[in-house]
C-alpha cells in the first residue's frame, strides 16, 4: 500500500500533463472551449497529482529511514550469579531459525556484527540495510572491572552467502563498489544487562543494530543501570 501513495498520484499527474498538452493543441487550432477545458482540467490534475505524489515519496522515505527488522532473541539464565556467570541463548529471528547457547561471565552481553548501509537513492527504492552477525561476548560495566577478567564469547556467524561458492568475496565487494549502491560498511554492536530470566530482542535498523527489553526482568535490569 505504501507505493500507492506516490505511484497513482504521479500517474494521474502524467495523464493530467498529457491533457494539458492536448488542450494547448486545441487552442493553437482555435478550439477555445475544448482547449480551455484541457488546459484547466489537465493543469489541475497534473499539479494535484504531482503534489500528492511528492508527499507520498516523502512518506516512503520516512518509512525507509525508520525501517526495523528482527534479528535475534536473547534469553538469559543465571548459572552462578556470585561469579557473574550466565547462560545466554541466541535465537535467530531472521529466517535461519538457528539457536546458539553460550556461557558468559560479566555484567552485560554484547552482540556484534557487520552492517552494510546503502546509498539513499537505493534505500528509497526499498534496499534496506543488510548485515552479518559475528559473535556474542561478555561486557563489564567499567574498564576497571573488566581489566584482567576472562573474555567469554561464542561464534554466532551463519553460513557464508551462496554467492561465495561462485565468486570470491573480493569480487563481490568490487561489484558492489562499482555499482555505487553501498554507502558504508561498518561494525555494529549492542549490549544489555545480564540478569536471570531476562529476554531481549535485537533488531536491525538503517543505522545498525539496536536492542530492547522484552519482559519485566529485562526492563528492570536495564532501568537499574546508571
Query: 65, 83, 102: which is the final residue of a domain?
Result: 65
Q: Which residues contact 45 (CB under 8 A, 6 or more apart)?
A: 12, 13, 15, 16, 19
Owner of C-alpha cell 561486557: 139
Helix (H) / strand (E) element for 72: namely: strand 68-80
User: Do 57 and 147 belong to one domain?
Assistant: no
Query: 65, 80, 112: which is the final residue of a domain?
Result: 65
CA distance to 6, 101, 134, 202, per residue, from 155 (Å)? 44, 10, 6, 16
User: Do 89 and 187 belong to one domain?
Assistant: yes
User: Do 161 and 150 belong to one domain?
Assistant: yes
User: Do 53 and 144 belong to one domain?
Assistant: no
Q: 110 phi and psi, to 5 degrees?
A: -135, 120
User: Do 105 and 120 belong to one domain?
Assistant: yes
Question: pTM value?
Answer: 0.65
User: Do 204 and 215 belong to one domain?
Assistant: yes
Number of domains in the chain: 2
User: Do 151 and 201 belong to one domain?
Assistant: yes
User: Do 42 and 55 belong to one domain?
Assistant: yes
Q: What is the mean pLDDT of each run of 10 residues along the chain (226 residues)?
A: 53 65 68 65 66 55 68 96 94 88 95 84 70 92 87 83 57 58 78 96 91 96 87
Whole-number Å distance between alpha carbons of 14 and 11: 5
Q: 35 phi and psi, to 5 degrees?
A: -65, -40
Report the DSSP beta bridge partners of residue 130.
116
User: Do 148 and 114 belong to one domain?
Assistant: yes
Query: 31, 48, 65: which is the final residue of a domain?
Result: 65
pLDDT recorded at residue 1: 44
Q: Which residues constitute the domain of residue 46? A: 4-65
Whole-number Å distance between alpha carbons of 42 and 61: 28
Amino acid at each position: 500500500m505504501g507505493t500507492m501513495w506516490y505511484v497513482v498520484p504521479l500517474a494521474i499527474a502524467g495523464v493530467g500533463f498529457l491533457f494539458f498538452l492536448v488542450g494547448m493543441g486545441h487552442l493553437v487550432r482555435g478550439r477555445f472551449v475544448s482547449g480551455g477545458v484541457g488546459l484547466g482540467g489537465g493543469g489541475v490534475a497534473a499539479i494535484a497529482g504531482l503534489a500528492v505524489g511528492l508527499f507520498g515519496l516523502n512518506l516512503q522515505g520516512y518509512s525507509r529511514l525508520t525501517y526495523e527488522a528482527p534479528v535475534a532473541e536473547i534469553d538469559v539464565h543465571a548459572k552462578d550469579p556470585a561469579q557473574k556467570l550466565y547462560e545466554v541463548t541466541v535465537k535467530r529471528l531472521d529466517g535461519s531459525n538457528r539457536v546458539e547457547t553460550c556461557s558468559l561471565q560479566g555484567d552485560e552481553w554484547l552482540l556484534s556484527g557487520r552492517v552494510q548501509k546503502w546509498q539513499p537513492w537505493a534505500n528509497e527504492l526499498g534496499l534496506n540495510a543488510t548485515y552479518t552477525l559475528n559473535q556474542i561476548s561478555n561486557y563489564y560495566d567499567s574498564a576497571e572491572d573488566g581489566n584482567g577478567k576472562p573474555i567469554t564469547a561464542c561464534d554466532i556467524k551463519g553460513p557464508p552467502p551462496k554467492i561465495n561458492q561462485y565468486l570470491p568475496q573480493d569480487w563481490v565487494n568490487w561489484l558492489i563498489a562499482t555499482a555505487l549502491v553501498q554507502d558504508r560498511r561498518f561494525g555494529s554492536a549492542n549490549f544489555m544487562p545480564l540478569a536471570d530470566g531476562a529476554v531481549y530482542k535485537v533488531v536491525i535498523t538503517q543505522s545498525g543494530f539496536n536492542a530492547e527489553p522484552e519482559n519485566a526482568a529485562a526492563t528492570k535490569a536495564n532501568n537499574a543501570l546508571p
